[in-house]
Structure 1
Amino acid sequence: MASDHSLVAVIDFGTTYSGYAFSTRSDYKTDPLKIHANQAWNAGGRQLLSLKTPTVLLLDKNKEFVSFGYEAENQYSDLMIEQEHEEYYYFHRFKMKLHKNIHLSAATVIEDITGKSALAMDVFAISIQALKDHLIEELDKKGTTMTVKDIRWVLTVPAIWTDAAKQFMRKSAEKAGIPDENLLLALEPEAASIYCQYLPTDKLNGADEGFSMAEVGPQYMIIDVGGGTVDVTAHEKQQDGKLKELCKAIGDACGGTSIDNEFFQLMVKIFGAPLMNSLSENDPSAYLFREFETVKRTINPKKSGKISLSLYILCARRILGKIYLALCRLVP
């Protein structure tokens, strides 16, 4: 779609992690792969090599925004140590609430980790707004001052999302302050396919000798493995750079969180369900899963041997929390 916007910003709203990227019109003309993304998501003492932040939202007792991402995880953990968390709302991994929800509407509610409910559209809208505001702030810091209306906004969604789920995401983005006329929805595997058109062939792992994305006729498959869903689709390069979808996108809820769930069940077998359930309820900032996420990224088909995880952080944090509460009782 033609537009005169000088900057395009994309919000990738994921099941486990979310982030954004942007490119100016001038950069695109000289180098289409010159894409900027925030690289300073701060996980506190557990810095991950990630361009994204956890899809975690913390609201106060009035359901007003407190924090998002790593900051929300850390703040809620501190609130729990001080036993001040009960009136707060803590949402994580809530994107999949839209998957196969045939009754999705503006009145749909979702529950936080303690069972307290809120309107799903409010939770999604506030989360999108947090990412949007963070991007605007980063642009201001770089001296690229722009208003929301100056930007062409793109929100990515899984290809297997229903029309109702896509419409729900659009309405959420509008509620987050993104004008409808400035907003486009992009299917995640299609966005990846378009990106691949600009990559040198030697950057495409598994490409046969002689394969070229620039020529008309090549057929290829895109497998988008996300946190919640896996999308699979096939494209064929057409004239004038256009793409033909060879078959309808298929997939299901079998993304990276499925591996996390299996890992959790392994921990249940080792430590028992009562302890692991207690950790889930009393330490939702998921320090255990942060450690697992770091190790998980080192796995490849050629790797063998044992995998080590550091669990001392969990124990130390819980012990320090108890010491802190004990000291508080001693102070008059």
Structure 2
Amino acid sequence: MEIFYFSYQIEFEADVPEDIRVVVGIDFGTTYSSFAYAHVQTCEVITNDDWPGRKGPLKINTVLQYDENFNNVIAWGSQALVGEPQRRRKKTAANSSKPIELFKLHLGNIPEEQKVKLPPNCPAEKAITDYLREMEEVERRWPGIDFFNHVRFVVTVPAEFTESTKTIMRKCVYDAGLIKSLGTQNLKFTTEPEAAALYCIKSLKEQDLTTGATYLVVDCGGGTVDLTVRKLLDDNQIGETTERSGDFCGGTYVDKEFLKYLESKVGEYAMKMLRDKHYGQLHYMIHQFCERVKIPFTGESSDFKTYELDIEKNCPALKQYVSGQAREELSDEEEWIIELDFSTVKRFFDPVVERILRLIEAQLDKSRYCSVMFVVGGFSESKYLQKRIKQKFKSCRVVIPPHPMAAIVRGAVEYGLNADAIKTRVLKWTYGVQTYPKFQRGDPPSRKTSDGRIYKFHLMAKRGLEVEVNQKFSTTLYPVYPDQKSILFKFFYTTKFTASYCDEPEMSVLGEFEVDLPDTHLGLDRPVSLHLCFGAMEIIAVARNETNGKIYHTTFKLEF
């Protein structure tokens, strides 16, 4: 029996005949989220555009509003950003808290100062679970469908997410009530760039790409930018040719530059009070900036008209917190109007765009024969970003496919309908198991244990290796002592290409796997073969006692 291994002592279900009738793709984004679905019989992918209180957009805000104690959600999506939620109210306290947003960033490996501070009684895992639970109510729209047994969910994650992050996401999906057990195989994961690559397959023929051709997918979202180079294989399958990459430099970072500039005009205290006391007005001001400045910005001065930010009109609460010289200048000379001219707005974009260009350049350096670049994601609709990419990479055709904002969620559905479309992936980490051999000459004396041994990292699969889906990597290990009745295998992974010890920097615990070892009369001659299966978004492990042929499995505890 093969077992998936995750935290929370999950024992995964064995493969059983499936009766999947609907596939649902969920793009849980930093600033906006969406879902799409398809009936297996027709395979027609439909992107949801019907949200509580709002119809038309393909995505909805990744925002929650709780009651004052954060016990119950009283609004979500765009309605969490307006004054009085128009949706049905739950039985909650009369007062409500400030909306919670950008909580997905807490799962990423970014500096703490870049993460929005969350209330102590509302950690990121709770917010994610509650948001998915609200989204679930919209998804339950198929009469006659057993939600737990007939629906397969595919959730997208950024390329830079670790194994532990996917474990957190699985637990959140379960707690939200979308799946019946932690171990169900009706939940799959795929990376955002991989989903985008699947979506782009339909556009490959238009670009005259044939089998063997490579193409780059750049997914520019709100919080993250993810990149992957793919190769077109036979039968519309795709392989990954270079290691996925990504960074936190999506479209919301342009908004942050705008807020930094505003803070320089009104003062740090004024902006802090605006965030704390009048969040709705702050968001409205950001929305106006995006709609009137950020989205239409082309990078051409001739197309630009200076935008006058009227504080009294767009954010009247801000005035009361502005003091000192800033108040004198704004009230007397500027009449509470802040002008955003072309050069100022360009400065909001350029740090973010430059980071994206460097990411693209690094990927193309790894794959010099890439002739087509697909740019997708919400931020990909920026005309200025498109222009800079085309200027920088003139030798590569830059393609913006239809509905780029929905590329990831539609690709997730395609993956759920046909996971076999992914032929190969490139390992993003180096994986191995801890061993306990005898101390040898040349080993560091400080690492020698009292019984003359040393803990080491035994490599099983190396970062950067292209592997086929479900390809196995194996090793055989033996008990350390002749009378031991079990053996505990500890798995680790690292960003490095190789390692010697399990406590080195950048090393993370993957989990523990314990196997029984009867037949102590055989002493040390009791081999156990270990197998790690990569390529699938979730690692599969197996342990076989070669003495009696039994395959052992146990619960898996992933530390993070």
Same fold (TM over 0.5): yes
For the structure 1 residues 144 and 292, does the alpha-carbon distance in structure 2 shift closer, same or farther, using more than 3 Å as the test?
farther
Letter in 1 for 2:255: D
- Structure 1 residue 117 corresponds to structure 2 residue 142: no
**Is residue 91 of structure 1 aligned with residue 100 of structure 2?**
yes
Q: 2:80 aligns with which of 45, 52, 72?
A: 72
Separation in structure 1 between the aligned mates of residue 308 and residue 174 of structure 2, nearest angstrom: 42
Q: Percent identity?
A: 27
- For 1:273 and 1:77, how far apart are their aligned partners in 2? 30
Task: After TM superposition, give the deviation of residue 41 of structure 1 in Å.
Answer: 4.0
Shift of 1:53: 1.3
Q: Secondary structure at the match of 1:231?
A: strand
**Aligned equivalents of 2:319 and 2:23: distance in 1?**
44
Residue in 1 that maps onto 2:61: 54
Partner SS for 2:228 = strand
2:133 aligned counterpart, secondary structure: helix
Aligned to 1:314: 315
Return the alpha-carbon distance in structure 2 between the equivalents of residues 280 and 77 of structure 1: 19
Q: Which segment drifts farther, 147-156 or 187-196?
A: 147-156
Deviation per residue, 1:274-317 (Å, 9 max, x gap): 33332222232311111123232223355732253665243399
Q: Could you give the per-residue CA deviations for residues 90-131 of structure 1, whole angstroms, max 9, x where no partner exists?
A: 3111101011179xxxxxxx953xx44324322211111111
CA contact under 8 A between 2:98 and 2:276: conserved in structure 1? no
**3-state DSSP of counterpart to 1:199:** helix
In 1, Cα distance between equivalents of 2:318 and 2:77:
20
Is it true that 1:287 corresponds to 2:288 in the alignment?
no
CA–CA distance in structure 2, aligned partners of residues 314 and 242 of structure 1: 51
The one-letter code sitting in structure 2 at the alignment partner of 1:195 is: Y
Give the AA of the match of 1:50: P
Match of 1:35 among 41, 45, 54: 45
Q: How many residues align?
A: 284
Distance between the aligned counterparts of 1:101 and 1:275, measured in 2? 27
Residue-by-residue CA offset, 1:48-101 (whole Å, 9 max, x unaligned): x731111111222252222211112224799xxxxx65x636311110101117
Match of 2:298 in 1: 300
Give the CA RMSD over aligned residues: 3.3
- Preserved contact between residue 224 and residue 250 of structure 2 (Cα < 8 Å): yes
Q: How is 1:255-294 mapped onto 2 (pairs within 5 angstroms)? A: 255-285=250-280, 286-294=283-291
- 2:239 equivalent in structure 1: 244
Q: 2:198 matched to which residue of 1?
A: 194
The question of whether the paired residues in 1 share the 8 Å contact of 2:30 and 2:103 is answered with yes
> 1:175 deviation in Å?
1.0
Q: CA deviation at 1:144?
A: 7.3
Cα separation, 2, equivalents of 1:251 and 1:239: 28
Post-superposition CA distance 1:230-254 (Å, at most 9, x none): 1111011112322221111111111
In 1, Cα distance between the equivalents of 2:28 and 2:306?
Answer: 30
For residues 315 and 27 of structure 1, the distance between their equivalents in structure 2, rounded to whole angstroms, comes to 52
Question: For residues 207-260 of structure 1, what are the alpha-carbon distances to aligned partners after superposition, in whole Å with 9 as ceiling and x for unaligned?
Answer: 5xxx32xx3111011111111111111011112322221111111111112111
Structure 1 residues 6 and 145: CA distance shift in structure 2, 3 A: closer
Secondary structure at 2:199 match in 1:
helix
Contact 1:233 1:250 in 2 (8 A): yes
Instruction: Give the direction of change, closer, same or farther, for the CA distance of 1:65–1:3 in structure 2 (3 Å limit).
Output: same
Say yes or no: does 1:129 pair with 2:133: yes
What SS does structure 2 have at the residue aligned with 1:197?
Answer: helix
Q: Which segments of 5 or more consecutive residues in structure 1 lack a partner in the other structure?
A: 29-33, 79-83, 103-109, 320-332
Q: Report the TM-score when normalising by structure 2.
A: 0.46
Cα contact 1:63–1:89 (8 A) shared by 2: no
Q: Is the 8 A contact 1:77 1:284 kept in 2?
A: no
Amino acid paired to 1:287: Y
Find the counterpart in structure 2 of residue 5 from structure 1.
20
1:304 maps to a residue whose letter is D
- Identify if the C-alpha distance between structure 1 residues 292 and 222 changes in structure 2 by more than 3 Å, giving closer, same or farther: same
Larger Rg: 2
Higher helix share: 1
Shift of 1:269: 2.5
Q: Are the structure 2 counterparts of residues 171 and 278 from structure 1 closer, same or farther at C-alpha, using a change threshold of 3 Å?
A: same
How has the CA–CA distance of structure 1 residues 75 and 184 changed in structure 2, closer, same or farther, with 3 Å as cutoff? farther
TM-score (norm. length: structure 1):
0.75
Contact 1:8–1:151 at 8 Å: present in 2 too?
yes
**What is the CA–CA distance in structure 1 between the aligned matches of 2:52 and 2:257, rounded to whole Å?**
27
- The equivalent of 2:535 in structure 1 is none
